[in-house]
Homo-oligomer: A and B are copies of this chain.
Amino acid sequence: MDTIENMDLASVLSLFEQSSLSEMELSCSRYSLKFKRPTSEDQVVVSTPVKTVAKKAEAAEPVAQSASEDLQTINSPIVGTFYLTPAPDAPPYVKVGSQVKQGDVVCTIEAMKLMNQLETEYDCEIVEILAKPEALVEFGQPLFKVKKL
């Protein structure tokens, strides 16, 4: 077999054709080449044999998400009802702009009649409240957008 520099176009093309490749680029001292083959449809449509209703499923995705510039999310560790206040008429644990220290309580999540107080794991500032008060939050659902301090 010839060295790459000395191959003729037909030979290169033939190798590409026989291969399973969809794209190939080649450059050397004497020439450069670029091949591309259309794949059948170029895409796989994953079948969805059922109507996709509005789902909370997507909410689980950003579990480990960390946005740019030190923005993080505090995610729900359990399934439960999200409360910003310790009691209906009490002031909220935090507001947008609040600065909290590690171990401070930021919300209550009620599950099986137990009020679970969620503590931050690091010092941070509350940038946004993502979950809706008194609504169900699922495992991994982002509750707050925060900025690490």
Contacts and interface: CB of A to CB of B under 8 A. Distances in A.
Contacts of A135: none
A57 interface: no
Stoichiometry, as copies per complex, reads: 2
Contacts of A28: 30-32
Interface string A11-26: 1110101011111111
26 contacts: A1-B11, A3-B6, A4-B8, A4-B9, A5-B30, A7-B9, A9-B12, A9-B15, A9-B26, A10-B15, A19-B37, A21-B37, A22-B38, A23-B36, A24-B33, A24-B36, A25-B32, A25-B33, A25-B34, A26-B33, A27-B32, A28-B31, A28-B32, A38-B39, A39-B43, A42-B42
